[in-house]
Structure 1
């Protein structure tokens, strides 16, 4: 029920903000071959969803994972966790993020937030229980690397650009089918809407490949940041520990998968849609880095 309410609230916010912006710009209606107006129309809707998701990412992460924020440490483990994140944040040159623990057996961690000075870093209970302190520190350093590199903002902007052009070319295709193939000169008919929806599905799948490619590149950069902050051997050790647990299924909300240190395993064509490179490649990249 909560997932449905979050979905409806997000989409309502997108519609309200997009409608107001379109009215102000005077492009709330697209007719004819006015591609400039169409591009603005698509950009507003394309960026609205990704930016709204970015701005409410911390709240959604807490709600969807059950993350408990450590405001006052109750145990020496929580105290160590806060001190370690503070130390890593200072070394990375960012403001101390919120720190939390989410109840999950699998070893995972994520970082999110709309900017590097207002972020959230969270680790799973399973990771804390099974990883050594050096490995936990390396995982935290990896997530701090995501924050310091601005990966959340970067991927949100990339998603906005991709959304814009998916909508733009899908509507051009729909207009072509409606006017040229179906010879409908009276306005946008059923052919336009069917063709547009079909094109959005196909282009959306292709666009996901681009977004996931960027995500994999950012993952290598976060590993490098983790190695700088916590030591290369510790970062490699943490990734090797993750690899040893690859039989454990990863349960992470889809919106957070790109920012979790463990993205699961995919083979074949599914590799194109991986948010993370294979752990073997990440370990080898760190070894070559020295």
Structure 2
């Protein structure tokens, strides 16, 4: 099952949850009506009065459940994944941390983000929790957070931590986080009825106290039965998603030892995976391991030995007893295990660990490097990064100069670096950009951006967007009042020369989306309704035309590539090849329609895009940047294309 099928499956599960929720609410409303009408002896009343009573009782019951569910989901959505982590006592891990354990955690998260094609999430540590556990939370990848316990940091080695983080990224990529928030909202709404009933029990007074007590007691019982059923549903859904996340984590890292090692340590240490925080029940279905003791029916995770057996068929459950005896007096130390493998050097500074030295630049990179690509391979990689993607992500990050990596992790330097990426090579345009920044931010910021631009001029073009993706983490943690001016300044820098290059468009568009979602917790591209391929043929044709011209030499070759893409996607459409009159900026209008497509139709769009860029058998940096940008806007996370370096060829009319 590929990414698009998994997305379709998650949507189907969400629809089933809504149906189950509505069924449960309907059952609760009927039972509350039955109890209330009996308690107040309304059955013998006139039909009009009986109907009025039923309507009032039903409306009040549904309002309590429905409104509290919606409010709960809205609060979780607007707070982002970080709000969930902070609720459990999570402490934010600074982007520029020098602590070896925290730096190792951030390195693993950054590598996994680049490998999977999603933004670097916020990173938290549950410092008070000695058990081994983790979770991912958020409404979308752009506002997601990954949290690990202190026990996971201390007990797991790098391979094991990598396996756990890969497991959590699977939840991010597959859409499980949104499903988890909906589950939390539904259960909270049903629980609200029980809480309201409890209040009614304590407040019943006067001559009508007896029927009120009867109604409150009945509603309390019905509410808790509803909660019971909701938890059963939550547990069943969660167990299936955990098996998929385990399998995905192995696919991402291409080794089972890390994930099985983490699971064995959970079974072998005294703390296991249990959390002590009082809110653990709310997030039990989001955790890497079982967060509290449940009976089998309510367990949110498969039994530990079954998870290990699925990954390692030779596993003997008796091994957990032996590990428990061994670790009872001397618990495992992940950092010591890494040290024995020579993997801890350089962690304090964020440098590559020993044994993972930065790769030397390839010969000919400055002249442009072209790479063969197949559409079926790219589509298969979306949302499903392989071990090669993870290794390539590590290489990409190691090839970025350490000084720049430290800069984009720094709260103060990250902004001038992002601005520096947009500085022109032409001296007169640079002067204009410098003056614009000085007028908005002052001389110090303008000078800093100009200085960064001079250093960035030596950066391999294929590393610019990965550098920006790491920078997003530090940018998102600035105050929301600072983010709109950053977007406005970026737009001013891009428009300084009256032209719009492919890289400028990609960087500006990704920056706008990322910061917009950080402020509003919703995508600027999300369409309120579903769209179809046939109904958006003109928008798709415009995108393919731009992509064809970006990677082909000459109008004739571009038209041939465009027609190949259209033939694959919309064979019956007869839309001639033509470039947007106003240039790349016209693409802004098509994103809501394309993002509103069904997940399986998005798959066809991506395949047709790859058909266009591979028409000449190779892919250039410009093509790769636009492809990765479009996939990000359509919420189809694309791993980096292997070997893309150096400037591309071709061009698009500028505005």
Structure-2 residue corresponding to 1:87: 111
Contact 1:246 1:264 in 2 (8 A): no
The CA distance in 2 between the partners of 1:67 and 1:287, in whole Å, is 34
1:114 positional shift: 2.5
1:147 positional shift: 1.6
1:249 positional shift: 6.7
Contact 2:104 2:158 in 1 (8 A): no
Indicate the SS of the match to 2:167. Answer: helix
Residues 69-125 of structure 1 deviation map (CA, whole Å, 9 limit, x = unaligned) = 222121344333222211212222321101122323222222212222211112222
Structure 2 residue 126 is matched with structure 1 residue 99? no
Structure-2 residue corresponding to 1:257: 284
The CA distance in 2 between the partners of 1:143 and 1:65, in whole Å, is 19
- Cα 1:264/1:82, change in 2 over 3 Å: closer
The CA distance in 1 between the partners of 2:152 and 2:190, in whole Å, is 39
Residues 45-86 of structure 1 deviation map (CA, whole Å, 9 limit, x = unaligned) = 333224424543522422432423222121344333222211
Equivalent positions of 1:198-237 (< 5 A) are 198-233=221-256, 234-237=258-261
Indicate the SS of the match to 2:141. Answer: coil
The equivalent position to 1:140 in structure 2, one of 150, 155, 165, is: 165
The equivalent position to 1:240 in structure 2, one of 226, 250, 264, is: 264
The CA distance in 2 between the partners of 1:158 and 1:105, in whole Å, is 27
- Cα 1:246/1:115, change in 2 over 3 Å: farther
Contact 1:212 1:273 in 2 (8 A): yes
What do you get for the CA RMSD once the two structures are aligned?
3.3
The CA distance in 2 between the partners of 1:219 and 1:252, in whole Å, is 22
The CA distance in 1 between the partners of 2:114 and 2:259, in whole Å, is 19
The CA distance in 2 between the partners of 1:223 and 1:122, in whole Å, is 17
The equivalent position to 1:150 in structure 2, one of 171, 175, 179, is: 175
Contact 2:187 2:230 in 1 (8 A): yes
Contact 1:166 1:207 in 2 (8 A): no
The CA distance in 2 between the partners of 1:252 and 1:195, in whole Å, is 33
Structure 2 residue 143 is matched with structure 1 residue 122? no
The CA distance in 1 between the partners of 2:290 and 2:260, in whole Å, is 16
Contact 2:167 2:248 in 1 (8 A): yes
- Cα 1:204/1:77, change in 2 over 3 Å: closer
- Cα 1:37/1:142, change in 2 over 3 Å: same
The equivalent position to 1:33 in structure 2, one of 6, 29, 54, is: 54
1:39 positional shift: 7.8
Unpaired segments ≥5 residues, structure 1:
1-29, 172-183
Contact 2:243 2:307 in 1 (8 A): yes
The equivalent position to 1:71 in structure 2, one of 95, 103, 108, is: 95
The CA distance in 1 between the partners of 2:135 and 2:182, in whole Å, is 19
Q: Mark the structure with the bigger radius of gyration.
A: 2
Structure-2 residue corresponding to 1:109: 134
The CA distance in 2 between the partners of 1:92 and 1:202, in whole Å, is 41
Contact 2:126 2:149 in 1 (8 A): yes
Indicate the SS of the match to 2:120. Answer: coil
Contact 1:95 1:116 in 2 (8 A): yes
Structure-1 residue corresponding to 2:296: 271
1:256 positional shift: 2.9
| Larger CA deviation: 235-244 vs 208-217 | 235-244
The CA distance in 1 between the partners of 2:308 and 2:272, in whole Å, is 19
Indicate the SS of the match to 1:67. Answer: strand
The CA distance in 1 between the partners of 2:108 and 2:305, in whole Å, is 27
1:265 positional shift: 6.7
| Larger CA deviation: 150-159 vs 42-51 | 42-51
The CA distance in 2 between the partners of 1:224 and 1:122, in whole Å, is 20
Q: Which has the higher contact order (CA 8 A, sep 6+)?
A: 1
The CA distance in 1 between the partners of 2:263 and 2:233, in whole Å, is 25
1:248 positional shift: 4.0
Contact 1:107 1:127 in 2 (8 A): yes
Structure-1 residue corresponding to 2:215: 192
1:31 positional shift: 4.7
Contact 2:284 2:291 in 1 (8 A): no
